[in-house]
Structure 1
Amino acid sequence: MKLQALYLAALAAVSVAVKIPFIQSKRPNLHRRSGGASVAVSHPSLAAAPQLLATESDVQDLIYMANVSLGGVGALVQLDTGSSDLWVENTLTTIPNANTTSQVCNLTYGIGWAYGNISYVSAEFAGISVPSQAFLDVSSAQNPALSYGASGILGLGFDSLSNIDAYVNSSGASTGRTLLYNLFHDNPSEPNFIAFSLQSTSDSDQISGSFAVGETESAYSNITSTNKIPTWPVNSPSRWNVLLDSLFVGTSTISVSTSVQGAPSNKAVVLLDSGTSFTYAPTDVCQAIYGGVSGAKYDSSLGQWVVPCDTEIDIALQFDNQIFPIHPLDVSPQNSGDPSTCVGSFIPQSVSVGAGQFDWLVGDNVLRSIYALYDFGDFDSSGNMGNPYIQMLSLVNPDQASVEFHDVRGGTPLNNITYNVSNDGSGSTTVTLSTDVANTIEKLSKYLPAILAVFALNALILVILAVVGIVLLCRRSKKGSRARKIPGRLSAMPMNSTAARYPDFASPQQAHTYEPVSMALTEDTLFAPPSPAFKGESRSGDRPKSVA
């Protein structure tokens, strides 16, 4: 027994941080993620070692899943930073030794829902065990994740967004904490963060990336030296929201704004959500991305832009004065059902997409270009977590991404693709002109040589007239002096200038004023102005909806 105790103590002293590699599992002929009813898909027994998997639909619409052990049985669940609850459908995976309560809960997502009883069971994730974990043992569900072979969803968000925790709290108990909270709480010596990349490659059958708890990928270890981007709000957030500085489209900088109460007016509040394949952004932002592409058009039946597949669209996002280029293959993914058609992965939505909580919903099409570290904050002596933050590392070299894009789509790669930090004085600022202003300037530039020629001709005429006038005056003066023979006297000269009689030949002081073409063109406003002061969410009353 002593040897066994020493062995267990040694294990406890070893870091429990585990990295989980993942691969892509191609699933053809699936509907888009916004499709309807769930489909029960049987899957083989899951290996004991956790593995992060990715599956794709007919538009390369990827979701990312991993194994979680509940009661000793593996369940494949979607990893979702946009929600905070763990649920598993019991028609797909039977959970043994689960303690099912009479408390029922209904989880509502941006797309889909899940209903069942709150239950408790021993859990293990990424090699870390929790003796009693609350989860929803779902008897009925309608969620797109199920049609990809998942048994449920593992929310990676904060306790304040957990519906299960709220239901349990309402009964006076505190046992409804999220899986991640329990993992961190039971292992206080470990860093309270998760880190993962959802990186894609040009090979449609392979995706490289990793997921880790309390550890970073060695190739990206320098992420810990990048800026710590605070959440919004900074204190006690309910979602992984951060502030977006600006958007770059080609060589233009697109200003952003917010409808979130209390947020800075020149920023946009964006939710980083690994549970959503595409990015939902304001309509004018999507117009700025795709509207200038020749041959692109908005398809109202799809709710997306349709763009030529061979057109490279280079964009980047700026967070906390750091620029993150997005791979062009993810900006206009190809529809495998119709290879001649590509769609915009930035989907236009009204500014109320986040119901006043965020302006953009940033999904996997952006996150695949970033290695992200989500830090929940360290525990203090009272067991409370500190302020959370996010660190991000770019995984995309724009020039190399251009080569990869044209290797797949054809055409000639671009080079020297650069983005300058904007608006905060720490770098160059790129100025964006509206289309009307740009067209006006272009037209003016065509006529500028003619305008300058007119100026030059007028100046030459004035010089010639001035010389002729001086010669005539000199001759008249000499003639008059010789005729009158009056020493010391000159003929009287008019005191007014020639402009009074010949306004077309006016002196510089009285010359006509050249009125320039009016440049007072109206710029379109991207977003509505911010609302009044922010009011935080309360843990009592209505719960915010999770996003998947």
Structure 2
Amino acid sequence: MKSIVVSALLASVATVSARTFTVTNACPFTIWPAMFTDLNVGSAVPNQPNGWTAPAFTSVSFTVPDNWTAGRIWARRNCDFSSNPGPNSCLDGGCNGGLVCDSRTGTGVPPATLAEFTLSTNPSIPDNYDVSLVDGYNLPMRITNNAGCHVADCPVDLGPNCPANQKGPFDSTGFPVGCKSACLVDPNPSNSRNCCSGQFNTPATCPPSASPVPDILASSGLKARKIPGGYSIPFKRTKGSLGRRNDGRKSKRVGGMRKRAGVSGETGLGDNSDLLYTVPVEIGGIVTAVHLDTGSSDLWVTSDSCTAASCNGPATAKQYPMSTFNDSGASVNMQFGDSLTGTSASGPIGFDTATVAGIAIQNQVFSAVNVTDNTVVKYGAAGILGLSFPAGSKVQEAIVVEKTGPLAKTDDFIVGTYQYGPLLARIAMTGALDMPMFAIELQRATIDVGGQDGVLTIGALPEGIDNSSLTWVPVRLYKDSEGGTPAPSFAPNEVYPFRWEIDIDGVFLDGERVADSAIPANGVSVTTTSALIDTGNSLLRGPSDVVSNILSTVSTTYNPSRSNSVATLPCNVPHTLAFQIGGKMFPVDPRDFIGEGSDASTCEADNLVVTDPPSRGALFRWSLGDPFLKSNLVAFHYGNLTHPSVDPPRIGFLSMVPENADQLLTQAVNDAESNGGLFDSTIVAAPTASAATADQITVTPGFTGISTRAPSPTATSPGAAVTVTMGSSGDTSQSSGSDPSDNKENGAVAGAKMGMGLVSVFVVVGMVVGW
């Protein structure tokens, strides 16, 4: 199921004379958007016809007056205006007038999901918008914005999940493409709680419990969900703070991160001496431990037919049984590491239900590896869970080629992400997550055991972490000429992310800036210094000249002219290597900068090594691995995977290095000296046993793009884009206050008030657009 998104940009002043609306159909099929203005309420109308044809993946822009009142936008499906054009020309959402809805009577035939707008030129009266299911449902819908204001949406595909007596209409295959409201099927609509009519025609007698929508939600398994700022009946009970004050400043969050309505989960991590971090994953009928890797994209596990010697070691986690393998017919050979540490894994590609952090999705593609020299298997993992972008997925590429033929263009690859993409990307694309993101905290198992808890959180920030405490920076996008994904025909101007890679402002050692690398890139033009954020890398990797400079500074024994020179240094002398990101310093804890030496008095700076210079497809100079992630909580927001320009991916950082880190290192050294020169060290197994018995939620694959319900950067532009999406899959709920971070799914009706003018609006069908 696809979606329609309406996005409105909010200005910091309310004196503009017009707002720009953009309507985009991101469904892989044609829809017919419609628009209506209640001329009994206001005379201002948009400069766009009240209906038009929107082929798959196309957009239309137009302006609306600053005082547009009682306006609505919706989508029509399965239309044929060739004969007798009118309200019955479409399977749902049709209107009087045919293609162009009548300006007086063309309100649309239920069921239809509505995006409703009332704009204001008065600074003391906010703009209002909402997503409404009062007239039933025919496509998911979302309204988001680019300035941290409220998101209203219905991202669930309610058609197939509708109560039997409300289900319909049906397309030619018998599939339900709508869900009628309880009022529409009520035998006594003139005096009904379902219709808020007759004796129930007041807010007091038509409570939310009498709404036509909860029947739909309950049947969808979503009865307990809440819609922030939403309503599902004719009497709107939107309440709470505005997304922005009338003075244009952001509202202050009260009390930090609140419990969300959408799906989220967390799981503990295993840690093998800080060399390998593992996460429990259930695939098919087995729960096993796989390496947590933000540097790659694919899920693979060794199978019980693996022929590699590493697959037979006693430390290897549970392997996938080929007796239950659902073979796709495709196979893959995956490469990992750089030119100095490269490994590979290969095997057939199959489908199975995969679960991580209690969130399951069916028909997940993965490789059942039968040949590998990857060292993660040697150290106790059954494979790798890649958390990076679809553009880097060799499994997705192989399965799309198998299904559609050679990739002459990227359309099939990008559209196929919701079916064949990486595990977390597919989960995010369902729209069911509270936020389309994940966050990682890595624990410390050497030198001084402890630090962060070691947790993977999916769909939300970790409990107790406030968005305002993170520094958010954009992910680097890769042009085709740089080795990135070529733009598809339906989005020819898009540039896609390839890796979790961000620009860094500089590198600092003990408070002094280190000179930038002078080593030229290989065959590409690189004007900035960027870093890959990579949990699959147990070290810090950087340019050879910068690494040599740092090691020569901290060690008197290091000789850069010798290839095997070891940088030894006193264990009790702390050094702080820091990376400036988004204007803020993010240090590596002194306890994570060093490695154990022969005793507790002499250590080695062996967590810092050399990597390759930038090249096509790998523009980064630094790879910040586990030492960096042990010192910093990192949040990864996918953004819009089909149209990243409307919701770019980003990464948020929060330093977890304590102020007394130097003293803690000294104490750890003293403890080691008292322990015969041995530092603390431990191995923590991934919690596979608890994962096997934990509660699970299954999310439904859907081509929705990625919603903008993740925390937005603390520094935003003065404007905000509000987006309405029809056709996404996600959660639903009811009315609550609208905090700037409460940009959650709103399945029944989601409403919000804006304390300033909506300047531009983006309506996207088939995906979720955001800021």
Give the TM-score category using the shorter length: 0.5 to 0.7
In the alignment of these two chains, the number of paired residues is 374
Partners of 1:152 and 1:7 in 2: CA distance: 35
SS in 1 for 2:587: strand
- Asked if residue 343 in structure 1 is aligned to residue 605 in structure 2, the reply is yes
Does the 8 Å CA contact 1:88/1:151 hold for their aligned counterparts?
yes
The structure with the largest helix share of the pair is 1
Name the structure 1 match of 2:575.
313
- Match for residue 435 of structure 2 among 182, 185, 191: 191
- Asked if residue 247 in structure 1 is aligned to residue 515 in structure 2, the reply is no
- Asked if residue 144 in structure 1 is aligned to residue 371 in structure 2, the reply is no
1:235-384 pair list within 5 angstroms:
235-257=495-517, 259=520, 265=527, 267-298=528-559, 300=562, 302=564, 305-335=567-597, 340-352=602-614, 356-378=618-640
Does the 8 Å CA contact 2:290/2:384 hold for their aligned counterparts?
yes
Does the 8 Å CA contact 1:246/1:256 hold for their aligned counterparts?
yes
Distance 1:168 1:304, change over 3 A: farther
SS in 1 for 2:370: strand
Name the structure 1 match of 2:319.
93
Q: Quote the RMSD (CA, aligned, Å).
A: 3.2
**Structure 2: which amino acid aligns with 1:17?**
S
Deviation track 1:455-501 (CA, whole Å, cap 9, x = no partner) reads: xxxxxxxxxxxxxxxxxxxxxxxxxxxxxxxxxxxxxxxxxxxxxxx
Does the 8 Å CA contact 1:67/1:76 hold for their aligned counterparts?
yes
Name the structure 1 match of 2:336.
109
Partners of 2:320 and 2:433 in 1: CA distance: 33
Give the drift of 1:249.
1.1
- Match for residue 118 of structure 1 among 349, 373, 379: 349
Name the structure 2 match of 1:515.
none
Give the drift of 1:139.
1.1
Partners of 2:224 and 2:358 in 1: CA distance: 12
**Structure 2: which amino acid aligns with 1:87?**
W
Name the structure 2 match of 1:522.
none
> Any gaps of 5 or more consecutive residues in structure 1?
23-51, 412-548
Deviation track 1:50-96 (CA, whole Å, cap 9, x = no partner) reads: xx11111xxxx422111111113102100100000100001241346
- Asked if residue 160 in structure 1 is aligned to residue 368 in structure 2, the reply is no
Does the 8 Å CA contact 1:290/1:307 hold for their aligned counterparts?
no
Deviation track 1:179-209 (CA, whole Å, cap 9, x = no partner) reads: 0121112244531111111143764378623
Distance 1:178 1:337, change over 3 A: farther
Percent identity, aligned pairs only, is: 25
> Any gaps of 5 or more consecutive residues in structure 2?
1-162, 165-214, 227-260, 305-317, 405-415, 480-494, 672-771
**Structure 2: which amino acid aligns with 1:185?**
M
Distance 1:153 1:323, change over 3 A: same
Does the 8 Å CA contact 1:259/1:359 hold for their aligned counterparts?
no
Does the 8 Å CA contact 1:199/1:370 hold for their aligned counterparts?
no
Partners of 2:291 and 2:592 in 1: CA distance: 20
Give the drift of 1:9.
3.0
- Asked if residue 66 in structure 1 is aligned to residue 293 in structure 2, the reply is no
Does the 8 Å CA contact 1:250/1:315 hold for their aligned counterparts?
yes
Does the 8 Å CA contact 1:104/1:118 hold for their aligned counterparts?
yes
Partners of 1:331 and 1:198 in 2: CA distance: 15
Partners of 2:320 and 2:443 in 1: CA distance: 32
Partners of 1:329 and 1:65 in 2: CA distance: 21
Partners of 2:297 and 2:384 in 1: CA distance: 9
Give the drift of 1:379.
6.6
Distance 1:303 1:5, change over 3 A: farther
- Match for residue 422 of structure 2 among 154, 178, 182: 178
Distance 1:361 1:162, change over 3 A: same
Give the drift of 1:383.
11
- Match for residue 461 of structure 2 among 208, 216, 231: 216
Q: Relative contact order: is structure 1 or structure 2 higher (C-alpha 8 Å, sep ≥ 6)?
A: 2
Distance 1:183 1:349, change over 3 A: closer
Deviation track 1:319-355 (CA, whole Å, cap 9, x = no partner) reads: 1211111111111121478874423311034525887
Deviation larger for 276-285 or 150-159: 276-285
SS in 1 for 2:532: strand
Does the 8 Å CA contact 1:199/1:207 hold for their aligned counterparts?
yes
Distance 1:352 1:226, change over 3 A: closer
- Match for residue 400 of structure 2 among 164, 169, 176: 169
**Structure 1: which amino acid aligns with 2:349?**
I
Give the drift of 1:308.
3.0
- Asked if residue 392 in structure 1 is aligned to residue 663 in structure 2, the reply is no
- Match for residue 296 of structure 2 among 76, 79, 83: 83
Partners of 1:383 and 1:310 in 2: CA distance: 47
- Match for residue 474 of structure 2 among 208, 229, 234: 229
Deviation track 1:287-339 (CA, whole Å, cap 9, x = no partner) reads: 23221235331485646533332332122110121111111111112147887
SS in 1 for 2:222: helix
SS in 2 for 1:286: helix
SS in 1 for 2:497: coil
- Asked if residue 15 in structure 1 is aligned to residue 228 in structure 2, the reply is no
Does the 8 Å CA contact 2:496/2:644 hold for their aligned counterparts?
no
Partners of 1:230 and 1:352 in 2: CA distance: 16
**Structure 2: which amino acid aligns with 1:93?**
Q
Deviation larger for 201-210 or 126-135: 201-210
- Match for residue 272 of structure 2 among 52, 55, 58: 55
Give the drift of 1:239.
0.6
Give the drift of 1:215.
1.2
Deviation larger for 294-303 or 137-146: 294-303
Partners of 1:371 and 1:352 in 2: CA distance: 26
Does the 8 Å CA contact 1:223/1:393 hold for their aligned counterparts?
no
Partners of 1:294 and 1:225 in 2: CA distance: 34
SS in 1 for 2:627: helix
**Structure 2: which amino acid aligns with 1:84?**
S
Partners of 2:615 and 2:630 in 1: CA distance: 22
Distance 1:232 1:360, change over 3 A: farther
Give the drift of 1:112.
1.7
Name the structure 2 match of 1:539.
none
TM-score, structure 1 normalization: 0.62
Distance 1:64 1:353, change over 3 A: farther
Partners of 2:290 and 2:565 in 1: CA distance: 28
Does the 8 Å CA contact 1:86/1:155 hold for their aligned counterparts?
yes
TM-score, structure 2 normalization: 0.45
Does the 8 Å CA contact 1:295/1:308 hold for their aligned counterparts?
no
Partners of 1:330 and 1:83 in 2: CA distance: 23
**Structure 2: which amino acid aligns with 1:53?**
G
Partners of 1:279 and 1:383 in 2: CA distance: 29
Partners of 1:11 and 1:390 in 2: CA distance: 31
- Asked if residue 407 in structure 1 is aligned to residue 667 in structure 2, the reply is yes
Distance 1:336 1:99, change over 3 A: farther
Distance 1:94 1:252, change over 3 A: closer
**Structure 2: which amino acid aligns with 1:236?**
Y
Name the structure 2 match of 1:526.
none
Distance 1:353 1:187, change over 3 A: same
Partners of 1:350 and 1:107 in 2: CA distance: 19
